[in-house]
Amino acid sequence: MSAISNMPATRGQEEKGNPLMRRERIKIDLLIHDLKVPLAVIEAGLTSMMKRQDKYGPITEKQERVFKRALRNTKVLKTLVGDALELGRSGEGIVSFSNFPLADLIEETLVEILDLTDTVMSEKLKKCETLLHFKKTLEEKGVILSIDETLWEQKIRQDETKIKQILRNLLNNALKYRKNRVELSVDCKEDFVIFSVQDDGAGIPATYHKRIFDCYFQLDATSTCSVRGHGLGLAGVMVLVEDMGGEMLLNSDEGQGAKFLVKIPLKTDK
């Protein structure tokens, strides 16, 4: 397993020491921030058309499908805007600690991810009342959740938004690159929470274990796959993990799947 947490200077430190870069960052953050209002208007409009048919007139089943897809994608955009702003805040050392149950964190993250591709599954997950039922439902999707009952009920103190962002990126990658299976394991040891996201896909050759954390780097950059991303997710995850004083380990080799392990210190102060 290679430790990759002690990477060169973080973006946050570089920016803080450079007023020009800091001003540029604020301008970009403000632009991103201003996307929130039109997005909220689009979301509210689509929701009203579907839910207030008494007011706006009836819609056909086909139209409803189109509205739902548009609404899902508006939510993706909202998440992306939130993520981009959170990265800026993180670079400035802003953390928002709260006490939250691991169950809520994991449920919300998985429902949010699956909602984008499989609403039937996300609706089923929302209705699960026990951990066992939740795990069994996820297995239909090839997702294995390893966490015990006691931990599931446990509350931790950390920055929930940042942890969600980390998990969302690692899980999205695992779901994108897996053959059949993704396993999310959660454990708490001493004052740390440890998440491991493992898949059974093509894996990452050892020579690329550092480079995949560089902005815009993609192993399959020439691929025409429709779900390709931007090569930014892991770079962002690294910034967040570092800002929280955590570490990230990668265990992978060609043809062997990939396992990303994130260890985050927990706060004990109130």
Q: By the criterion CB under 5 A, which residues form the site for Mg ion?
A: 173, 229, 233
Answer yes or no: are the C-beta atoms of 125 and 141 closer than 8 Å: no
Per CB under 6 A, does 86 bind ligand ATP?
no
Per CB under 6 A, does 77 bind ligand ATP?
no
Answer yes or no: are the C-beta atoms of 153 and 171 closer than 8 Å: no
Q: How far apart are CB 242 and ligand ATP at their closest, in Å?
A: 15
SS3 of residue 124 by DSSP: helix
Closer to ligand ATP by CB, 96 or 223: give it.
223
DSSP 213: G
Interacting positions 213-252 with ligand ATP (CB under 6 A): 217-220, 229-235
Phi and psi torsions of 76, nearest 5°: -60, -45
Closer to ligand ATP by CB, 149 or 253: give it.
253
DSSP 260: E
Q: How far apart are CB 80 and ligand ATP at their closest, in Å?
A: 9
The H or E element spanning position 186 is: strand 182-189
Binds 231, which of ligand ATP, Mg ion, none (CB < 5 to 8 A, cut-off by type)?
ligand ATP
Per CB under 6 A, does 46 bind ligand ATP?
no
Closer to Mg ion by CB, 105 or 237: give it.
237
Interacting positions 160-179 with ligand ATP (CB under 6 A): 169, 173-174, 177
SS3 of residue 194 by DSSP: strand
Per CB under 6 A, does 83 bind ligand ATP?
no
Strand partners, 196: 185, 261
As given in the structure block, the two tokens for residue 29 are: 């953050």
Pick from 100, 103, 96: nearest CA to 244 = 96
Phi and psi torsions of 225, nearest 5°: -50, 135
DSSP 252: E
Binds 174, which of Mg ion, ligand ATP, none (CB < 5 to 8 A, cut-off by type)?
ligand ATP
Nearest residue to the partner ligand ATP, using Cβ: 229
- Which residues contribute to the site for ligand ATP (CB under 6 A)? 169, 173-174, 177, 199, 201-202, 204, 212, 217-220, 229-235, 258
